[in-house]
Structure 1
């Protein structure tokens, strides 16, 4: 891992820089393009629990989700497609 907590197979996206109206669409596209054992780390300005529910509704048990930081100003989560071993 590097200083950001990311591994080499992990992409970091600060979604605070994406227009709110398209954030979830962009994240869904990024998630759908993840390969096995790839992680996507998201940096957001609120608890992304609604996004988690949306991903779980669409992909079921194939969503890996880890909170790395939980507010109050910044949340960081790692997500993967397919539960890691």
Structure 2
């Protein structure tokens, strides 16, 4: 099994964008919170961690199969 080299800067930027978008939706639209004007910090942190874990799993799967490898992951054999 090959383990890819991950571009942590790209992954971090993607996670920040995801969390900011969800935070804005929570604050202004009341998405995933009881009333608008609230932000669930614990939920946002959980989403960021889960996003990073799933991104790493996707990179490992794509490197070891014929699927195209994402831009933020490179094969170690090249």
Taking structure 1 as the reference length, the TM-score comes to 0.28
- The structure with the largest strand share of the pair is 1
Task: Give the number of the structure with larger relative contact order, counting CA–CA contacts within 8 Å between residues 6 or more apart.
Answer: 2
- The structure with the largest helix share of the pair is 2
Rg larger for = 2
Taking structure 2 as the reference length, the TM-score comes to 0.30
